Amino acid sequence: MNKKLKFFKEAVKNYKTSGTVVPSSKYLANKMLKNINFSKAKVIVELGPGDGAITKSILERLEPQTTLICFEINDAFFKELEKIKHDQIVLIKASAEDIIEELNKLGFKEADYIISSLPLTIIPKNISHNILIKSHEVLKRKGLFIQYQYSLTYYKKLKKVFGENIRLDFEPLNFPPAFVYKCAKK
């Protein structure tokens, strides 16, 4: 079966955890990754990689010293991610709420960057709030939390966690077009 059709079927079946019905475009991936200093990153975390559209763009840019840790709870997407053979990727079938504990198990205390494709606006409020708080906690000082959403409705919630350290970008060449939030930890 065509990969896009498989993604669509899985996304429709599990819309509350996927938040979309089509994979992210290469343009959105480039917009999300453009402020990452891959030459200095040791740990990059990806939350909700889905079928790996952005994951593959990250892997193309990784330097030898960097580990990419992906959190995916959807069974079908997790199986798809397992097909990616790369020495620097660690796949975790756990909620992004468990980011601190899971990184500690791997021997990491902090992340340089967190890239999130989680549909925060449709995840229950207490869970999405916990994910943001724990992501902020595990992010190193001056690290970036990069999140895309299809609307601006989550801006205030991100501001409560990251303060005024949020830059907003927009990618029209994605379906649907997406806003990219780049949140820095002071």
State the pLDDT at residue 27.
97
Per-residue CA distances from 114 to 45, 48, 131 (Å): 5, 11, 11
What is the model's pLDDT at position 2? 57
Specify if 109 maps to a domain: yes
Tokens representing 125? 């409020």
The whole-number average pLDDT for the span 39-46 is: 98
The CATH number for 27's domain is 3.40.50.150
| Residue 93 falls inside a structural domain | no
Q: How many domains are contained in the chain?
A: 1
pLDDT beyond 50 at 133 = yes
Residue 94 lies in a domain: no
Please check whether residue 58 lies inside any domain of the structure: yes
Q: What are 101-117's pLDDT values in tens digits?
A: 999 999 999 999 999 99
Domain that holds residue 46: 3-88+99-184
Structure confidence by residue, pLDDT tens digits, 64-96: 999 999 999 999 999 999 999 999 999 999 999
pLDDT, position 37: 98
Distance CA 3, CA 117 (A): 19
Residue 8 forms part of a structural domain: yes
